[in-house]
């Protein structure tokens, strides 16, 4: 049997499921040439076609998702000082069911439903048989990337149960260079299934959603949770004649009561960095703005105050 035939059999096995219930460990590793970090968590996942689904991390600080009936419900645990526990519900038909495998992003997300595992598979090689599983390396066609983006993606390794064609393990790595950075950062995603009852009865109450008693319901479409943290972004472009390239990166975060914005630009062969700090006076009547700009030949600082109260 060749690798592509195996993938088609896996896809067919998931299409024919009557029910699926599993426990898994999700491992996320990331870093660059100077540092790395690792995160691991255990989750449960239950599913009855075509849509009742429940995803629930072990412990108290996961983000449970429940799709049952007409809505998809998501709970987000937010520190009390930033609003406390929140949940939102959206119509289930507005978006694809979460946790399905997508070949465009084969090493991202938390996929447990693999009926599309053979989509866009450019290559598939069975490497060996190991502990009742086929180990297969799959290369997926990479979607078009923005001009100048440097990305490398390893083949995805799957361990497929020989008996029922369920995916027991997924491993993949992706590396990329962001604008304003020279080093390549990488991330590695591993999902290891430990228990996977297939086509066994699942109690109906599994897919019933009950909001935590202290949770605040967010308006439909509002996900919340982002207003209390920082943010970042990057971009690049070329002149119309394609002779000059511009790169930028920006971020913001809180340092105590001060909002600090950082930005960097590469243009015309030089690098500029900006740091802007916004802080209020003790009585809240005055906003102070301190800015430092650094270029190839030194730095300059500006300071101003704005009456606001």
Other CB atoms within 10 Å distance of the CB of residue 11: 19
Query: Is it the case that residue 263 has pLDDT exceeding 50?
Result: yes
Of the candidates 229, 280, 241, which has an alpha carbon nearest to the alpha carbon of residue 258? 280
For the segment 50-66, the average pLDDT, to the nearest whole number, is: 83
SS3 133: strand
Q: Give the pLDDT confidence score for residue 81 in this predicted structure.
A: 57
Query: Is it the case that residue 233 has pLDDT exceeding 50?
Result: yes
Q: Give the pLDDT confidence score for residue 48 in this predicted structure.
A: 94
* Portions of the chain given CATH number 2.50.20.10: 3-217
Average pLDDT in the chain: 82
Q: Are 185 and 174 in contact (CB under 8 A)?
A: no
Share of the chain above pLDDT 90, in %: 37
For the segment 191-206, the average pLDDT, to the nearest whole number, is: 93
Q: Are 265 and 284 in contact (CB under 8 A)?
A: no
Task: Report the length, in residues, of the chain.
Answer: 309
For the segment 268-280, the average pLDDT, to the nearest whole number, is: 87
Question: In what order do the strands lie in the sheet containing 286-295?
Answer: 231-238, 245-255, 258-267, 270-280, 286-295, 298-307
Query: Is it the case that residue 13 has pLDDT exceeding 70?
Result: yes
Fold for 231-307, please state it: 3.30.1300
CA angle 154, 155, 157 (to 5 degrees): 120
Q: How confident is the model at residue 95 (pLDDT cuts 50, 70, 90)?
A: low
Q: Give the pLDDT confidence score for residue 212 in this predicted structure.
A: 81
- Thinking of the domain 3-217, which architecture would CATH place it in? Clam (2.50)
Q: Give the pLDDT confidence score for residue 242 in this predicted structure.
A: 60
pLDDT digits (tens, 9 = 90+) for 159-189: 999 999 999 999 998 876 655 556 667 788 9
SS3 153: strand
Q: 7-16, 101-110, 210-219, 240-249: which has the highest mean pLDDT? A: 7-16
Query: Is it the case that residue 92 has pLDDT exceeding 60?
Result: yes
Q: What is the DSSP string of 262-302?
A: EEEEEETTEEEEEEEEEEE-TTSSEEEEEEEEEETTEEEEE
Q: Give the pLDDT confidence score for residue 136 in this predicted structure.
A: 98
* Portions of the chain given CATH number 3.30.1300: 231-307
Higher pLDDT, 128 or 28: 128
Q: How confident is the model at residue 213 (pLDDT cuts 50, 70, 90)?
A: confident
Q: Give the pLDDT confidence score for residue 42 in this predicted structure.
A: 93
- Range with the lowest mean pLDDT among 68-77, 209-218, 244-253? 244-253
Q: How confident is the model at residue 73 (pLDDT cuts 50, 70, 90)?
A: confident
Q: What is the pTM of this model?
A: 0.68
């Amino acid at each position: 049997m060749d690798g592509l035939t195996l993938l088609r059999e896996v896809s067919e096995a998931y299409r024919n499921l009557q029910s699926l219930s599993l426990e898994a460990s999700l491992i996320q590793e990331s870093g660059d040439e100077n540092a790395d970090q690792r995160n691991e968590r255990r989750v449960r996942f239950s599913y009855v076609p075509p849509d009742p689904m429940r995803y629930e991390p072990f412990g108290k600080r996961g983000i449970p998702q429940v799709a049952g009936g007409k809505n998809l419900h998501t709970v987000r645990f937010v520190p009390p000082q930033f609003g406390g526990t929140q949940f939102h519900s959206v119509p289930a038909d507005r978006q694809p069911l979460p946790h399905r495998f997508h070949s465009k992003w084969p090493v991202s997300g938390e996929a447990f439903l693999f009926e599309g595992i053979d989509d866009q598979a450019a290559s598939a090689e069975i490497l060996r048989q190991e502990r009742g599983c086929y180990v297969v390396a799959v290369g997926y066609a990479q979607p078009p990337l923005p001009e100048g983006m440097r990305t490398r993606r390893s083949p995805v390794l799957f361990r497929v149960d020989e008996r029922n064609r369920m995916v027991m393990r997924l491993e993949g790595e992706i590396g990329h260079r962001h604008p304003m950075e020279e080093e390549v950062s990488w991330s590695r995603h591993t999902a290891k299934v430990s228990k996977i009852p297939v086509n066994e009865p699942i109690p109906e109450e599994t897919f019933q959603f009950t909001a935590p008693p202290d949770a605040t319901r967010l308006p439909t479409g509002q996900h919340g949770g982002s207003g209390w943290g920082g943010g970042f972004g990057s971009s690049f472009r070329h002149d119309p004649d394609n002779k000059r390239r511009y790169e930028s990166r920006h971020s913001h975060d809180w340092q105590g009561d001060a909002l600090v914005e950082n930005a960097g630009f590469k243009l015309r062969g030089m690098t500029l960095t900006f740091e802007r700090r916004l802080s209020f006076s003790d009585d809240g009547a005055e906003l102070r703005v301190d800015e430092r700009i650094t270029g190839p030949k030194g730095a300059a600082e500006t300071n101003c105050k704005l009456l606001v109260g």
